[in-house]
Structure 1
Amino acid sequence: MEIQGKIKMIDETKTYGTNGFRKREMVITTEEQYPQHILVEFVQDKTDLLNNFKEGQNVKVSINLRGREWVNPQGETKYFNSITGWRIENLSDSVSGDMPPMPPVEAFEPANDLNEEDHDDLPF
């Protein structure tokens, strides 16, 4: 799944437990009639993906939905959901791609020396 929007907040990487579990959270605000503020978490080596991004950028984030069950000490069963990001793309860069910009029309000279007899290259 993917979500698109503007980065509202990027938190710092936090480490938990003795095994060094790393997590970094970001909030994306969708751009629709009723904007939503979606919390996306990046874990372990994916936390580094956010290093090149900053608040205010328009991005597309590839996500997985995760759900888990937990039984508390009183025996009650609870369910939790999380949104985990695994790829992030800057939308403004993806539009232009790797192609250089097109020169303005004034940079081209008109082709005045065309002779139609020289350009009859049809195969039939």
Structure 2
Amino acid sequence: MEVTGRVKMVEQTKEVGSSGFRKRDIVVTTDEQYPQHISVQFVQDKCDLLDAYKVGDNVKVDINLRGREWTNPQGETVYFNTIQGWRIGKVQDGASAPQGQAPPMPAAAAFEPAATFKEEDHDDLPF
């Protein structure tokens, strides 16, 4: 899966717990009719990938969805979801447009007109 858009925020790397676990978040704003601000978390050695990115960069982030189950002290089971990034790359302006849009068509003047076309001479039907 991937998220494409413009970098809104890049956090500093944080160490969590005593085991040396590292995490770093980036927020990417999608380029669509209703833009979404997607927080993507990079962990451990992947945190360093974000050093090359700044606010305003157009990026494509490859992600995995992660889910965890936790039982609190009261015995209730709680579920957490995380969007975890594993690769990021810059894209050129305009390349972050929503997929499914066709590229612009060239002007009609770019095509050479048929000089001697007669409808009765043209038959490309397979039957």
| TM-score, normalised via structure 2 length | 0.71
Structure 2 residue runs without a partner (length 5+): 96-127
Counterpart code for 1:22: R
Where in structure 1 do 4 or more consecutive aligned residues deviate above 6 Å?
Answer: none
CA distance in 2, matches of 1:2, 1:56: 18
2:47 aligned counterpart, secondary structure: helix
Structure 1 residue runs without a partner (length 5+): 96-124
Task: Report what 1:16 is aligned to.
Answer: 16
Indicate yes or no: 2:43 matched with 1:48: no
Report which of the two has the higher share of helix.
Answer: 1
How far apart are residue 39 of structure 1 and its match?
A: 0.5
CA distance in 2, matches of 1:19, 1:75: 26
CA distance in 2, matches of 1:52, 1:85: 15
Task: Report what 1:100 is aligned to.
Answer: none
1:28 aligned counterpart, secondary structure: strand
Task: Report what 1:92 is aligned to.
Answer: 92
Task: Report what 1:62 is aligned to.
Answer: 62
| Identity among equivalent pairs (%) | 65
Counterpart code for 2:72: N
Over the aligned positions, Cα root-mean-square deviation in angstroms equals: 1.3
Superposed CA offset, 1:42-87 (max 9, x none): 0000000000110000000000000011111111111100000000
Alignment map for 1:96-107 (pairs within 5 Å): none
CA distance in 2, matches of 1:46, 1:92: 23
Superposed CA offset, 1:78-120 (max 9, x none): 1100000000010029x7xxxxxxxxxxxxxxxxxxxxxxxxx
Counterpart code for 2:70: W
CA distance in 2, matches of 1:23, 1:64: 15
Bigger mean CA deviation after superposition, 84-93 or 43-52: 84-93
Question: How many equivalent residue pairs?
Answer: 94
Task: Report what 2:107 is aligned to.
Answer: none
CA distance in 2, matches of 1:19, 1:73: 22
Indicate yes or no: 2:15 matched with 1:6: no
